[in-house]
Amino acid sequence: MERYTPEVCEDLLKAEYNYPDIAPRSWRNQETESEKVRLFVDMDGTLAMWHPTKKLEELYEEGYFKNLEPYEEVVEAIRQIFTFEPNVEVFILSAYLSDSPYALNEKNEWLDKYLPEIDKDHRCFCHCGTDKSAAVPEGIKETDVLLDDYTMNLNDWCPPGVGIKLLNGINDTHKSWQGERISRLQPPTEIARAIMDNIDIAIDKDEGVDL
């Protein structure tokens, strides 16, 4: 996967999408690190391409999670937010097979390869089949945003948080999610901008701004 340097990201954002000087957004209540807005990003089906299996045992094979291909546009969009939006604290929020000897380690290896910017303190994991909110530090806040491909996870998140569904080409067949949607096929800067627009909306609602 081609990784864009910060300089290339800046050129793309400025030239193609008129991103305003790559300056951090001026949010009234986000002046200290402890008050950063938090973005949580799912892995399987959101950052990494999910490969359906014919047998459940395949999920337990060594290398399964480590070798998942990235959705390059989504990965690069998250990197752009991490790089150019210092008021946004980016977390990974992913479920793993707790009875697999490989799953958790391989997910961390995958992140080390494709999103090393997100350190281990910002990687939140929970057991498959459990509510993801249990893995969220200090619980879900009204300004917390989740990017996920699975409607049930988004429904558990909202309220109080804000959910965005990542359309990956194999989900959303029933159109069950009524909130914001983003396609993985959009350019990285469009994905990043759409996420930031939803973060702005979450902040305005938290502050009681009439939208």
* 4-21 confidence digits (pLDDT tens): 444 444 444 444 434 444
Which carries the bigger pLDDT value, residue 205 or residue 139? Answer: 139
Which carries the bigger pLDDT value, residue 33 or residue 145? Answer: 145
For 22, residues 6+ apart whose C-beta sits below 8 A from its C-beta are 10, 13, 14, 84
Instruction: Compute how many other C-beta atoms are within 10 angstroms of the C-beta atom of residue 193.
Output: 20
Q: What is the pLDDT of residue 18?
A: 44
Instruction: Please compute the mean of the pLDDT values over residues 173-198 and round it to a whole number.
Output: 87
Per-residue pLDDT reduced to its tens digit, 136-152: 999 999 999 999 998 88
Single pTM value for the model: 0.81
Q: What is the pLDDT of residue 90?
A: 98
Instruction: Please compute the mean of the pLDDT values over residues 166-195 and round it to a whole number.
Output: 85
Helices 6-17 and 188-206: angle between axes, nearest 10 degrees: 80
**What percent of the chain has pLDDT above 90?**
59
pLDDT band at 206 (very low <50, low <70, confident <90, very high): low
Per-residue pLDDT reduced to its tens digit, 60-113: 999 999 999 999 999 999 999 999 999 999 999 999 999 999 999 999 999 999
What is the Cα–Cα distance from 182 to 150, expressed in whole angstroms?
13
| Alpha helix ranges (H) inside the chain | 6-17, 72-84, 103-114, 151-157, 188-206
pLDDT band at 207 (very low <50, low <70, confident <90, very high): low
Q: What is the pLDDT of residue 161?
A: 92
Instruction: Please compute the mean of the pLDDT values over residues 121-127 and round it to a whole number.
Output: 96
Instruction: Please compute the mean of the pLDDT values over residues 41-54 and round it to a whole number.
Output: 90
